[in-house]
Amino acid sequence: MRILKLTSLAVVLMAGSAFAADDLVVTASDNNFEQRWSWTGFSGGLEAGYSWSSDEITAGGAACVFGPDCFANGEGGIYGAFVGYNHQMGSFVGGVEASYTRIDTDFDDASGVSIVDSWALKGRLGYAMDRFHAYGLIGATYVTTDSPIAALAQSDWGIVYGAGLDVAITENIFGGIQYTHHDFTDFADLGIDAEMDNVMVRIGYKF
């Protein structure tokens, strides 16, 4: 009888240990499932949105072709593509992104100026909470304009900065929204200060 009792006790203890081990495995698996998304890696995708621009002639050789106040506004749809790389360290994410944007912006004045496209190279620094990634960005932008007035059809470099939010949809696909402000001082040595604000919805794939 004593041997039977000891054997029963051993079986109970072994069963309890097995259940505890199973619980540990399930818990670890669940934790891994919740935490396995990482923003580290290369990515690429498409984006589309809307743009608002303003030009002001402040000095220099350009005539005041924008009107009596030397000021013009424009807006229009935009679309483009981006590629980049992020590296996650704990909750912090650093990275770099290059983008091309096709722009359909005509200004509301007699100059006939339109913005054709822009290239941008941006550094990014953000904070991630599992599948959510909020970030700020700053970098350089290169914009090309067109106009019937040859002197106003130019290209030049400026600065770009902004912020964005990305959300993982699946293990590789993410969506997001990004705002950027592009600033140009004395664009193409024309004495024109220009600004452009873009808001874009993005869809991307993380490799």
By percentage, how much of the chain surpasses pLDDT 90? 61
Same domain, 32 and 105: no
Same domain, 31 and 45: no
CA distance 43 to 86: 8
CA distance 164 to 125: 10
Global pTM reads 0.79
Same domain, 21 and 108: no
Strand-pairing partners, residue 154, are: none
Same domain, 61 and 117: yes
Query: Residue 44's CB: how many other CB atoms inside 10 A?
Result: 14
Q: Which domain holds residue 67?
A: 41-206
- pLDDT given for residue 1 in this prediction: 45
What's the CATH number where 129 sits?
2.40.160.20
pLDDT tens column, 137-175: 999 999 999 988 888 899 999 999 999 999 999 999 999
Cβ-based burial of 50 (10 A; exposed 0-12, middle 13-18, buried ≥19): middle
End-to-end CA distance of the chain: give it in Å, rounded. Answer: 64
DSSP letter, residue 65: T
pLDDT tens column, 90-141: 999 999 999 999 998 888 776 788 899 999 999 999 999 989 999 999 999 9
3-state SS assignment for residue 81: strand
pLDDT tens column, 1-23: 444 343 444 434 344 444 444 44
Phi, psi of 5 (to 5 degrees): -65, -45
Count how many domains the chain has.
2
Same domain, 134 and 179: yes
Same domain, 4 and 102: no
Same domain, 28 and 112: no
